Amino acid sequence: MLSVFLVSMNSVLIIITIIVIGIIIRNMHIVSDQFSTDISNVLIDVALPLSIMLLTQRYVTKNNFKILTVGTILIMVAILICFFIAYLISRGLKLDKSRRSIFINGFVNSNTLFVGMPLNIALFGIKSMPYFLCYFVANTIATWGIGVKIVYKDGPQNRSTSSRKPLKRLVNLFTPPMWGFILGLIFFATSFEVTGFLKESFSYIGNLVTPLSLMFLGLQLGKTKFSEMKVERLDLMAQFGKFVVSPFVMLLVIVAAQRMQIVSLGSIFIKTMVVQAATPMLNVLPILADQAKMDIPFSTRILTESILIFPVAVVVIMLLV
pLDDT tens, position by position, 119-175? 888 888 888 888 998 998 899 888 888 888 888 787 666 544 444 456 555 655 677
CATH number of residue 275's parent domain: 1.20.1530.20
pTM above 0.75, yes or no: yes
Top-confidence range, 152-156, 171-175, 216-220, 246-250: 246-250
Give residue 302's domain range: 2-320
- The mean of the pLDDT values for the chain is 85
- The DSSP output letter for 155 is S
Distance CA 238, CA 104 (A): 8
Distance CA 68, CA 60 (A): 8
pLDDT (0 to 100) of residue 173: 62
pLDDT (0 to 100) of residue 168: 59
Show the DSSP H helices in the chain as ranges: 2-27, 34-42, 48-59, 65-92, 97-108, 117-124, 129-142, 148-154, 158-161, 165-173, 176-190, 196-206, 209-222, 233-240, 246-259, 267-277, 285-291, 296-320
The answer, yes or no, to whether residue 263 has pLDDT greater than 90, is no
CA distances in angstroms from 51 to 25, 118, 121, 138, 208, listed in the order given: 26, 12, 13, 18, 9
Sequence-separated (6 or more) residues with CB below 8 Å from residue 50: 180, 202, 205, 206
Digit-coded pLDDT (tens) for 186-212: 998 898 889 899 999 999 998 888 888
**What is the average pLDDT across 26-35?**
87
Digit-coded pLDDT (tens) for 32-72: 878 888 888 888 888 888 988 998 888 888 888 888 999 99
Q: How many domains does the chain have?
A: 1
